Amino acid sequence: MHELSLLKKGSAGRVVRIHGTDSISMRLLEMGLTPGVSVKMIGAALLGDPLEIELRGYHLSVRKSEASRVEVAGS
């Protein structure tokens, strides 16, 4: 189990947990980043941040700091 931000480009994982219940975590959940969902790392912007991920058939951009609240398990 590791942080979403550590997923390698092109690899996928399954969300295990989201830490926190503040508005940032709530937004991540609303966007479908719920435990159980599978996510794929598409890439990162110039300085390695933010990240582009794919989940539930669409693309989402999150910063590393936000992605670090999400724990994933390699699939």
Partner 1 sequence: MSTRPFTTVLLGNPNTGKSTLFSALVGMPTRVGNYPGVTVEEKIGRYTHREIPIDLIDLPGTYSLSPKSPDETVTVNVLFGRVPRIPSPDCVVIVADATNLERNLYLASYVLELGLPTVIALTLCDAAEKKWISIDADELSRRLGCAVVPVVATTRQGIATLREMITDAPHFPRRNKINIEQHLAAVDSIHEPAVREAIARYAWIENILDGVVSKHPSTTRSFDEQIDAALTHRLWGTLFFILTMLFVFTSIFWVATPLMELMAFGVDTIGVWLGSILPQGAVRSLVIDGMIAGVGGVVVFLPQIAMLFFFIAMLEGCGYLSRAAFLMDRLLVGVGLSGKSFIPLLSSFACAIPGIMAARTIENRRDRLLTILVAPLMSCSARLPVYLLLTGAFVPNVPVGVLWLRLPAIVLLSMYAVGVIVAATVAFVLSRTVFVGIPQPFVMELPRWRWPQAAVVLQRSYEASVSFLQNAGTLIVAVSIVVWALSNYPFDEQAIEAEISHHRIALKTQLESLRAAGQETSQTAMELTEILAAMETPEGIRAAQKGALQRQSFLGRTGRLIEPLVQPLGWDWRIGCAAIASFPAREVVLGTLGVIYNVGDVDLSKKPGENALVRRLRAATWDGTNRKVFTLPVALSIMVFFALCAQCASTLVIIGRETGSWIWPVITFTYMTTLAWLGAFATYQIGTWFMGA
Nearest Cα neighbor of 55 from 2, 3, 1, 4 is: 4
The angle subtended at Cα 63 by Cα 59 and Cα 40, nearest 5°, is 40
Among 61, 73, 74, 75, binds partner 1 (CB under 8 A): 61
Is residue 75 a contact point for partner 1 (CB under 8 A)? no
Is residue 1 a contact point for partner 1 (CB under 8 A)? no
Strands of the chain (E only): list them.
Answer: 2-3, 12-18, 38-44, 51-55, 58-62, 70-74
Using CB under 8 A as the criterion, what x/- string covers residues 14-53 for binding partner 1?
A: ---xx--x-xxxxxxxxxx-xxxx----xxxxxxxxx-x-
Residues that bind partner 1 (CB under 8 A): 17-18, 21, 23-32, 34-37, 42-50, 52, 56-63, 65-66
